[in-house]
Every structure is written in structure tokens, then in C-alpha cells.
Structure 1
Amino acid sequence: MPGLIRRTLLLGGVAAAAGGVALWRWRAPGDTELAYGSDPAQTLDIQNPRGGTAAPVLVIFHAGDFATGDKADVVVWPEWLAAGIAVVRVNTRASGAARWPAQADDALAAVVHLQRNGADLGLDPARMVLMGQGAGAYLAVTTALSLVEVGLPPKAVVSLYGPMDFSTLDADLKTLGRTPSRGPADAASSPESRLLGFTVGEKRDAARAASPLARLDRMREPLPPILIRHGDADTLVADLQAKRLREAWLAADPKAAIDYKLVPGAGHGGEAFESDPVKADVLGFVEQALG
């Protein structure tokens, strides 16, 4: 399918799925809350830096096992705004309300809305980085790949301690000899099984097919730079998931710029990812990507 037609069909379909025209509610100068779809969960907020020029954009997807959490949980580092970067925090529908791929559709719809309405919101959507924490990293990487496929790649991606393949979550922890900090992902009651609508352990191939890693296996095209950070003591999502993301990204694009490090002693999120050296690495990476 020709690139322009493909982009038009995909983006038009996403907008339709999101429920049409979004409404925005102004809260304070430089701080905007808006709906990008008709469902109450389909919201995002924008914190704009001071200044009269269109700001580059950092879009962040929050953690929470796809079932809990909120965009308000994401701490907006003041350094972003000081560097002239607008920060957008996105909510998507929870797994209890909608099954996968609804969350991927929501994440893409939010980005498409920013691309279409950026000028009115004081943004420069041509300069955009996608970032995710935990489950949000799964969404950030998935969304980035969707944008790559339609010829509208983000400037870069940041993946922090995210799962990348539900089918191997339990096996990876076992391989590393770690005692899981929650029940098995393979179980019918796991957040991953509830998200997908089937038991991961019974349909492992289908769980794998839903993952960003499976999509990367099929891709052989230029990818944006990616920064990957994962705790080497994580007992929820093994750091082997991050290693596989790095390998799959490199296999899809051997020339891709990849900044990959494990965080010594860090678990699943927490203070290690909100302070140096991780914070300094992320800030520097995003600022360089956005120019």
C-alpha cells in the first residue's frame, strides 16, 4: 500500500476509534487537560514550558500493569520544562474496561491527536519522543513501531523497566533464579492474561504475537534511537526482557542508536529511576533527540 494512503487510512481509523473530535479544558496557563476520545479514560494533560515558540514534545505513558495507575502518577521533572520541552502524560483505557489492543489504539490515538492539533496547543509534534514506565514502556514501544510503519517515526523512544513479551515473563525470572514478587504471569488471574483476554500460559504463541518483540521480528527498516534502562534486581519483570528488546531493535535495524544499561541493585521502578545517574541519562538522551 502506498505510504501516503497507508498513513491516511491508519490515522483516520485511529481518530474514528477514539470517538472523533477531542474537547479541551484549560486549567492554568501552560497546563492543559484534554480528551482525545469519547471514553472518560481517554485523556491526556500537557505541561508547556514558558516561551512563545512551539515546543518539542515528550509523551509519557504511566506504569500500572495496564489495570491501575494514572497519568498524574508521572512526576514531571522541572528540567524538561526548563529545557523548553512540553510534557504530555497520557491515560488509556484500563484492562478491566477494554481488552488489548484497545490500549495500543488509545496510545496511538493520543499521539495522532497531538500531531493534528499541535500548533493550536503550542507544540511542535514533528519533534516528539515517546517514553514509558513499566507497562507504559510496552505502550511507548508499541506506539513507536506503529508510527514507524506509517512513515511518521518519533525522534526517539525511552523504555524504563517495561515488559516486552508476556509469554516469557515467568521463565525469565526462573532463568535468573529470582523469586517473583507476585503471582505467575502465566496464570488466568494475572494482569497480562486479563489484558489479553486469555490465559497466557495456555496460549503462549498468541501472547508472544501481541508483543513489541514479535513486531520487531517482522520489521527491517530504520528505527529511531532508543534508551533502555532496567533494574538488575527486578523481581516483577526480569531484565532479560530489556536485553531482548535491545537485541530485537538491533536485528530490525543494525544501524539504530541504542543506549542500553542495567541499573545496579534497582528493582521495578522506584527512586533509582527518578535520580541520577538514570535521570541524567534520560534527560541528556531526550534533549539530544529533540535538538
Structure 2
Amino acid sequence: MVLTRRSTLGILAALAARPAGARPGLHDLAYSDASPRNRLDIHLPQGGGPFPWLLDLHGGGFRAGDKRLLPVPPELLRAGIAVIRMNYRLSNEALWPAQEQDVLAALDFLRRDGPDLGLKPGRGALGGRSAGAFLAVSAALTLAMQGRPPRAVVDFYGPMDFGSMDADMARLGGEPRRLPADSPQSAESLLVGYAVGQRRDEATALSPVGRLGAMRPGTPLPPLMIRHGAEDRIVPPGQARRLREAWLAINPGAAVDFAILPDERHGSAGFTATRTQEALAGFLLRHLAG
């Protein structure tokens, strides 16, 4: 059942009755009725709020994963930033673009009900890891084309051009830890419903890099933070470089905080390390303020 204003106020009243420091957040709120997976959790910092927020999307190759497996960085909560985790339809339930539609539906829910849930209106960012980063950047581009971009976007080791992933992997060298993206059974092919290698131009066109290439130069884009591992043999770091180049080609003045992390692999410990999470908190504070 979709959360109503009355039920929202009831939840908030129950939270207010808890002793200080015991507030667990709001869990499994329905943001859409398209699927039983259309649920999200809101983790609020201590204090009265309202808070700026990050909608953070889990990875899992578009076919697995769950919001409960996504860590809630204490560095963000200490900085006064709420963290929202959501589930979306997986590729074994629905093909692309259902996943982006879920992200946009969650954002509509947060825009509508967020003020009653302790969230600051208009002070939201989109982010994700791996497959979740693809969804976050894709949704951000849709919103930018509608003239209502998010305040900021975060890409942690996401695929950004399905059509070039195998070429980037070949340049990286070493042994890949995944099926080629061109394979009919790859995570990317299973998402879009065809073998990427057989319809490469189409696969690139629906990816963020391809979509940026089709946008009008000068289109306003939000600030972007990119972190990727130099030793990533699941999503090669060339994907991060392609996104940065395509982003700046459309909007040369866009703020892009870019780093390839030495020795890091796909989702390795460096991405949850305090240094990385404090950099993320600083990036969000700069662009969610006001």
C-alpha cells in the first residue's frame, strides 16, 4: 500500500516518541505499486531536520542485489545528510527501462512526501554503485533533459557505455572477472533484452555516454562525482573516463570530481573507507547546501 499523509504522520509520531539516538529510520515504504520490490528505506541523521539527502542505489548486475545490503555511511549521517536506499525491478522481472522508471517514481514519491519524512525539499542527490550507478546517472540525465536535474550525481564504478565495455576491458589487460558485455548472457544483454554485441549502436545509445552524445551542447548538467578502481576487471575504469569526457563535452563548466583509485577493484574496501566517504560527504555538502 502506498504511504498516505495520515500514515506518514503516524510513523513520525511513533519515531518522535522514541528516546534520543534510537531512531532507526523509516523502512519498506512503498513508492510505487508496479512491483513488490518498489520499497525504500530512509535513514535520518540525529537532530530535528529537515535534511538534505542522497538516494543511493545498490548494484548486483541488474539481476540481483537488495537495498539492505547497501551500507549506510556514518560519515554522511554525521554530516547531516539523510541516506535513502531503494529496491528496483530486476532484469528477470522487467527489461530496461523499467529500472529507470522505478528510480523516477521513487523521486516523485520523495518530492511529494519527503517534507513529511524529514527531508529537505529540492536538496536531493542521486548516486549508486555499479549497476546502481548506471541507473542513477541515467535518471539524472532524464531529469536534466526535462529541465529539473538533481542537485548532484554520484557514480561509484558504474558501467556507462554498454557498447564499449569489452574494448575498455581489453585495453586494461589481465583476466576479466565476468562474461563479455557482448555475450547474450551478460548482465547488460539480459537487462536490455538482446545481445549487446549484435546491436552495439543501440546499446550505446541507451547508455549514459551515448545519451550525452545526443544532447544539445550547453544543456545544464548537475555536479558529478566519479570514483572507480584502477584494477576493476568487472567494469573497467575506461567507463569512468568516458563518462567524464562526455559530461564535460556537453557542459564544460560542470563540476566534476573525478578519481581513479589505485589498486582498487570492483567494490573493494577503498570505496567504503573513511577517506572516500568523507570526500563524498564533502561533495554532497557543497552541492546540497542553500
- When normalised by structure 1's length, the TM-score is 0.89
Q: 1:62 matched to which residue of 2?
A: 58
Q: Are residues 1:260 and 2:254 paired?
A: no
Structure 2: distance between partners of 1:95 and 1:119: 32
SS in 2 for 1:183: coil
The one of 169, 188, 191 equivalent to 2:165 is 169
Structure 2: distance between partners of 1:62 and 1:273: 14
Amino acid at match of 1:36: Y
SS in 1 for 2:201: helix
User: Could you tell me how far 1:53 is from its partner in structure 2?
Assistant: 2.9
Structure 1: distance between partners of 2:240 and 2:233: 14
Matches within 5 A, 1:178-197: 178-197=174-193
The one of 30, 34, 56 equivalent to 1:35 is 30
Matches within 5 A, 1:226-245: 226-245=224-243
Structure 2: distance between partners of 1:242 and 1:22: 37
SS in 2 for 1:44: strand
Q: 1:104 matched to which residue of 2?
A: 100
Amino acid at match of 1:64: G
User: Could you tell me how far 1:31 is from its partner in structure 2?
Assistant: 1.0
Q: 1:115 matched to which residue of 2?
A: 111
Amino acid at match of 1:162: G
Deviations 1:248-287 (A, max 9, x none): 0000101101111100000101211000432222121112
Contact 1:250 1:256 in 2 (8 A): yes
Identity of aligned residues (%): 48
SS in 2 for 1:227: strand
Runs of 4+ in structure 1 off by over 6 angstroms are: none
User: Could you tell me how far 1:246 is from its partner in structure 2?
Assistant: 0.2
CA 1:217 to 1:22, structure 2 compared with 1: closer, same or farther past 3 Å?
A: farther
Deviations 1:116-158 (A, max 9, x none): 1111111113001111101111011011111112222111111
Amino acid at match of 2:154: V
Structure 1: distance between partners of 2:75 and 2:157: 22
The one of 34, 48, 52 equivalent to 1:52 is 48
Q: 1:277 matched to which residue of 2?
A: 275
User: Could you tell me how far 1:79 is from its partner in structure 2?
Assistant: 2.1
Deviations 1:170-216 (A, max 9, x none): 11111222321122111111111111000111111111111011111
Number of equivalences: 272
Contact 2:75 2:277 in 1 (8 A): no
Give RMSD over aligned pairs.
1.7
Matches within 5 A, 1:186-225: 186-219=182-215, 220=217, 221-225=219-223
- When normalised by structure 2's length, the TM-score is 0.89
Amino acid at match of 2:177: S
Deviations 1:18-55 (A, max 9, x none): xx954678596451120111111111110112222311
Q: 2:120 matched to which residue of 1?
A: 124
Contact 1:30 1:49 in 2 (8 A): no
Structure 1: give runs of 5+ residues left out of the alignment.
1-19
Amino acid at match of 1:49: P
